[in-house]
Amino acid sequence: MKQNEISLNSLLIDSDRFLLTDEEIGDNHVATSIDTPMREDAFDLSDLEKIKIIEGHFREIMLTLGLDLTDDSLRGTPNRVAKMYIEEIFSGLNPKNEPKVAMFENKYGYKEMLIEKNISFYSNCEHHFVPIVGKTHIAYISSGKVIGLSKLNRIVQYYAKRPQVQERLTIQIAKHLQKVLASEDVAVFIDAKHLCVSSRGVKDDSTSTITSFYGGKFQEENTKREFLGSIQS
């Protein structure tokens, strides 16, 4: 398996040194910011209003493609797609959907790393709006608090459910965990396949992309090696 490996303790692009066209940015999967690019008026409309607008636009796309929307199979598709965008696959854009995280005292006095492996996620590439499918592995060392295991999955899903770049997704998950855990000692490792690589462009189905974030003690070689050994076992 061919893999593109990217280590993330700084992000990617220096706009003073690189002047890329829109096509080059898309084909090279370049990220331009750690935060998801959002307009100030992003939440002025209700979800229902957004669904109606997207439904109309998607109907026009289908008509432009030459599809017959009077067909029983197709006539409900614009509404289904609009609802899917708002309520499901891009629901992570809305802060109201951020998972509530309950923290617990580390009463066991557990001082070693805690690892949750193989958190499956489905996201969408922001350059072509086609799926990114992969696994996330997370580890942290408690600073006195612990988080419910299911909340780690929910945090991954929250950031995956938006148009994404894998580098940004990795950092957003890690920074969120550092904040809620009040600890720098967080590691995130993502291995994912991008359908914008396998189904279009170079059409290479064998490639996966690896990104990683190592904070605090995980920057120490022994701790990092223990984490990587555990997720690869």
Asked whether 130 and 200 are in contact (CB, 8 A), the reply is: yes
Residue 73 scores a pLDDT above 50: yes
- Per the model's pLDDT, the better-predicted residue between 178 and 29 turns out to be 178
DSSP state of 29: T
Say which range, 145-149, 169-173, 200-204, has the weakest mean pLDDT: 200-204
Burial class (CB in 10 A: 0-12, 13-18, 19+), 106: middle
Q: DSSP strand E in the chain: where? A: 2-7, 103-105, 113-125, 131-141, 145-147, 163-164, 186-194, 207-214
Give the catalytic positions in this structure: 125-128, 166, 194, 196
Question: How much is the pLDDT for 207?
Answer: 84
Query: How far is it, in rounded angstroms, from Cα 50 to Cα 178?
Result: 33
What distances in angstroms separate CA 154 from CA 99, 109, 119, one per listed residue?
6, 25, 10
**Segment 71-80 mean pLDDT:** 97
Which residues, other chains included, contact 222 with Cβ-Cβ below 8 Å and sequence gap of 6+? none
Q: Residue 30 carries which side chain, given as an amino acid letter?
A: V
Provide the pLDDT confidence category of residue 62 given band limits of 50, 70 and 90.
Answer: very high
**Residue 2, pLDDT above cutoff 60:** no
Distance from C-alpha of 127 to C-alpha of 194, rounded to nearest angstrom: 11
pTM of structure: 0.85
Q: What is the mean pLDDT of residues 41-58?
A: 97
Q: What is the pLDDT of residues 150-159, one digit of tens each?
A: 999 999 999 9
pLDDT on residue 54: 98
92/85 Cα distance (integer angstroms): 10
Residues paired with 4 in a beta bridge: 209
Ordered structural domains, the chain, with CATH? 2-12+101-232 (3.30.1130.10), 47-93 (1.10.286.10)
Q: Which residue has the tokens 């599809």?
A: 67
Tell me how far apart the alpha carbons of residues 127 and 44 are, in angstroms, rounded to a whole number. Answer: 25
Is pLDDT of 61 > 80?
Answer: yes
Nearest to 174 by CA among 160, 148, 155: 155
DSSP state of 211: E
Is residue 13 predicted with pLDDT exceeding 70? no
Quick: pLDDT tens for 98-144. Answer: 999 988 998 888 999 999 999 999 999 999 999 999 999 999 999 99
Burial profile 67-90: b = 16 or more Cβ within 10 angstroms, e = fewer: eeeeeeeeeebbbebbbebbeebb
pLDDT at 4 over 80: no
